[in-house]
Amino acid sequence: MMTWLRQNARETIAALALVILFAGYIAIHPRGFSTYVVTIWSNQGTLLGLAAIAQFFVVLVKGIDLSVGSIIALTNVMGSFLLNGSPTSIALGMAVVLTVGVACGLVNGIAVVYGGVQPIVTTLATGGIFGGIALLLRPTPGGSIDETMSDALTYAVAGIPVSAVILVIVLVILLMLLRRTAVGLGLYAIGSSEQSAYMTGLRVNRLKLVAYGSSGFVAALAGTYVSMVTLTGDPNIAPSYTLNSIAAVVLGGVALSGGVGSPLGAVIGALILKTISSLMFFSGLPPLAQPFFEGLILATAIALGALGVFQVRSRLELYR
């Protein structure tokens, strides 16, 4: 148990912070701990959690994805066209939306792997393209989503929010894939040392494409779930998701230098962020002061996570 805790220190600390923040949130929420409050919190958390997982896959292989938000916006907008009508057409629409997500991810991957462009600038450019397509398809928020499906996926069953169940299922599947399959371990290997991974005989290029494709897939899941929660397609949601997904993975102990972290950490980071902003909402601070404190808390949290730099034995370790 102790070794496990030590090995997963970053996730453990983040989880503790989350528990404290959540307790604080419940304590000051006027309606206290009720299914309603938890469901809303969980739905919001799931949206950002999925976005953070999408970001995690790219960060795992030493990349960064500035187009996550745009892919979410694009798939959300497509969902607002396709996710209604008969069950068959919804299923087909769902397949199309997810395929688009994977395709977007692969475009990023191909430009990075075969085009030799740095991930950060690639996704900066493709983010513009994906976001542009979303805006072209639907210049203003609108559209319709099948309400039965939305209700089924965003309410609670027996006091447990469906969104939480979805998030847990996604997490379990991903954790199994990442820890138990050759592909998953290969991704970690590439993140830690691309050169060694190549020398070991891993198909580095192909594995990187898998990472980018998976990121696109999860982003599409997030986009679909945005459709379910908001019942509209909104092309303007991109920037906030991109920025928050990066902040979330860092808070959740995923190293931006690659190879370290887990989707669980990313989700915990996302939930922390969501709880902070909900806390702000009910904190009684003047509304105009809230954005400042949100930024301040984010900065403090990140700086606290970096306190380890004062423990290194040699300053040489800080420079790589």
Partner 1 sequence: MTDATERTVTSRWLNRDRVSVLLIGLGCVALLLGGSLLYPGFLKPGYILQQLQIAAFLGIIATGAMLVILLGEIDLSVPWTITGTAIVVISASGSSNPLVASLAIPLGLCLGIAVGLLNAIGVAVFRVPAMVWTLAVNAMLLGAAVFYTGNSRPNGEVPWLATQAATGRTFGIPNAFLVWLVVAAITVWVLKRTVYGNYLYALGNSRRAVFLAGARVRLVMVATFVLAGVFSSFGAILLLGYTNQAYQGMGDPYLMPVISAVVIGGTSIQGGRGNYIGTFAGAIFITLLSSILSVMQMPPAAREMIFGAIILVMLLVHGLTNKKEGV
Question: Can you tell me which of 14, 246, 272, 273 binds partner 1, judged by CB under 8 A?
Answer: 246
From CA 115, how far away is CA 315, in angstroms rounded? 36
From CA 227, how far away is CA 234, in angstroms rounded? 9
Strand-pairing partners, residue 145, are none
Each residue 270-299 as x (binds partner 1 by CB under 8 A) or -, in order, gives ------------------xxxxxxxxx-xx
From CA 25, how far away is CA 29, in angstroms rounded? 6
Number of residues that bind partner 1 (CB under 8 A): 50
Task: From 32-40, 89-97, 124-132, 217-225, give the range in contact with partner 1 by CB under 8 A.
Answer: 124-132
Task: From 79-87, 88-96, 223-231, 245-253, give the range in contact with partner 1 by CB under 8 A.
Answer: 245-253
Q: How far is the CB of 55 from partner 1 (least distance, A)?
A: 12
N- to C-terminal Cα separation, the chain: 32
Two tokens at 243? 């920025």
Region class of 164: left (phi > 0), else alpha (psi between -120 and 50), else beta: alpha
Pick out residues in 64-93 that bind partner 1 (CB under 8 A). 64
SS3 200: coil
Q: Judge whether 134 and 224 are in contact, CB under 8 Å.
A: no
Task: From 95-103, 127-135, 196-204, 221-229, give the range in contact with partner 1 by CB under 8 A.
Answer: 127-135
Nearer of residues 85 and 291 to partner 1, judged by Cβ: 291
Q: Give the distance between the most distant pair of CA atoms in the chain.
A: 64
135 binds partner 1 (CB under 8 A): yes
Two tokens at 49? 């959690």
247 binds partner 1 (CB under 8 A): yes
Question: Can you tell me which of 120, 152, 176, 199 binds partner 1, judged by CB under 8 A?
Answer: 120
Question: Can you tell me which of 7, 34, 118, 200 binds partner 1, judged by CB under 8 A?
Answer: 118
Q: How far is the CB of 148 from partner 1 (least distance, A)?
A: 32
16 binds partner 1 (CB under 8 A): no
CB proximity list for 234: less than 8 A, separation 6 or greater: 73, 76, 77, 138, 141, 226
252 binds partner 1 (CB under 8 A): no
Q: Judge whether 154 and 227 are in contact, CB under 8 Å.
A: no
Nearer of residues 84 and 126 to partner 1, judged by Cβ: 126
Q: How far is the CB of 103 from partner 1 (least distance, A)?
A: 15
Question: Can you tell me which of 6, 180, 313, 320 binds partner 1, judged by CB under 8 A?
Answer: 320
Question: Can you tell me which of 80, 126, 150, 224 binds partner 1, judged by CB under 8 A?
Answer: 126
From CA 1, how far away is CA 24, in angstroms rounded? 28
Two tokens at 276? 């902070």
Question: Can you tell me which of 13, 92, 133, 231 binds partner 1, judged by CB under 8 A?
Answer: 133
Query: CA nearest 249: which of 264, 234, 230?
Result: 264
SS3 172: helix
Contact residues toward partner 1 (CB under 8 A) are: 64, 111, 115-118, 120-122, 124-129, 131-136, 139, 235, 243, 246-247, 250, 256, 288-296, 298-299, 302-303, 305-307, 309, 315-316, 318-320
